[in-house]
Amino acid sequence: MKCVQMIVEGKVQGVGFRLSAAEKARKLDLVGFVRNEADGTVRVNLEGEDNQVEKFIKEVKKGPNAQVKVKNVDVKYLEKQQGFKKFEVR
């Protein structure tokens, strides 16, 4: 199991990014959350099987649609699992 925290920068608020991220995470059987931050970034904390987490990271870097402009994704691998039960939009 992998646990990561991602900070996504760019045009990622108000363009459906969180809903798209949640849909992808659920399809990959990942648990955690996605939320908008006050500084205009989006934070994603999630955990799941190693290969599924890596697939999710690649998808986020591409962006879900033409409205979303991902400039940077800061990924931190965390040592401790958070014990999430599902994936939610906050």
Q: Are β-strands 42-48 and 31-36 bridged in parallel, bridged antiparallel, or unpaired?
A: antiparallel
Within 13 A of 37's CA, how many CA atoms are on the CB side?
14
Catalytic site includes residue 36? yes
Contact 35, 47 (CB under 8 A): no
Catalytic site includes residue 45? no
Catalytic residue among 35, 36, 72, 90: 36
Catalytic residue among 18, 43, 65, 90: 18
- Report the catalytic residues: 18, 36
